[in-house]
Amino acid sequence: MRVIIVDDEDLARGLVREFLARHADIEIVAECANGFDAVKAITDLAPDLVFLDIQMPKLNGFDVVELAGSKARYIFVTAYDQYALKAFDIHAVDYLLKPFSQQRLDAALAHARTSVKQGGVDAVLRESALRGKPLERVLIRDGARVHIIAAGQIEYIEAQDDYVRISAGGKHYLKNQRLAELESQLDPAVFVRVHRSWMLNLGAIDRIEQGRDSHCAILRDATRIPVSRSGYQKLMALIG
């Protein structure tokens, strides 16, 4: 298996590397000391397995998983036990609590080998994410940069094929995600799908105008968003 080790502590990465050295089928393809480097390495190198710390500067381990995607399997490695439930909610292969032994890592590695053979983890990750709490922030990768946007700051979202165009704070961002998937992750009491291609933050609406055969939402910044018949019914149900 091709493996990436991610931890902001040199000694922690060294210990995982030492324990993995006893397994002839393991190839360590990269080591990363922060979440930004980890996202790039996982995306570029497509490893089978990632040993991933949780508490790191700027991007934590869960942010890395969201940005890098679910093709790789993840074993979380941390000194804190309070994240275990969240880790298994996104279908982590295992959760290693520091300090851990060679035997404990070997057991986690055995789980990972079974997971790689079984495959099909992507759908489980997506499904478990839909059962979680609404997103409080949206992460958007832009080349080597990562934008972290509070969900409440988003004014509207437009579908563009396999991407969404997110408008927040007067700026626009492209995220590689389907509108339907993002809709399922945002708070339905705040965001409403008003059209096949458009979703709005209710707090961004200034007024609704009625045309001859359709409606239009006018936002506080004067942006005009088309509202379908079903979208108008959903709006009225929420705002009266």
Q: What is the DSSP letter of 224?
A: E
User: Which residues lie closer than 8 Å to 100 by C-beta, 6 or more apart?
Assistant: 77
pTM of model > 0.85? no
Q: Which residues pair with 205 in a beta bridge?
A: 219
- CATH 3.40.50.2300 segments of the chain: 2-130
Cα 196 to Cα 183: distance, rounded to the nearest angstrom: 11
**pLDDT at res. 127:** 44
**φ and ψ at 175, to 5 degrees?**
-125, 135
Give the model confidence (pLDDT) of 162-187 as tens digits: 899 999 988 999 998 899 989 988 99
- Tell me the DSSP string of 147-164: EEEEGGGEEEEEEETTEE
Cα 13 to Cα 3: distance, rounded to the nearest angstrom: 12
Give the model confidence (pLDDT) of 114-160 as tens digits: 877 666 444 444 444 444 578 888 888 776 667 878 899 999 999 99
Residue 91 has pLDDT above 70, yes or no: yes
149 with 170: CB under 8 angstroms? Answer: no
Give the model confidence (pLDDT) of 225-238 as tens digits: 999 999 999 998 88
Range of lowest pLDDT (77-86, 140-149, 207-216): 140-149
Q: Which fold has domain 2-130?
A: Rossmann fold (3.40.50)
- CATH 2.40.50.1020 segments of the chain: 137-239
Give the model confidence (pLDDT) of 12-53 as tens digits: 999 999 999 999 999 999 999 999 999 999 999 999 999 999
- Reduce the DSSP state of residue 205 to 3 states and report it: strand
Cα 129 to Cα 43: distance, rounded to the nearest angstrom: 20
- Domain at 137-239, CATH class: mainly beta
Average pLDDT, the chain: 87
**pLDDT at res. 132:** 59
Pairing relationship of beta strands 49-52 and 73-78 according to DSSP bridges: parallel
As separate numbers, helices (DSSP H) first and strands (DSSP E) second, the chain gives 8, 15
Looking at the chain, the whole-number percentage of residues with pLDDT higher than 70 is 92
- Reduce the DSSP state of residue 102 to 3 states and report it: helix
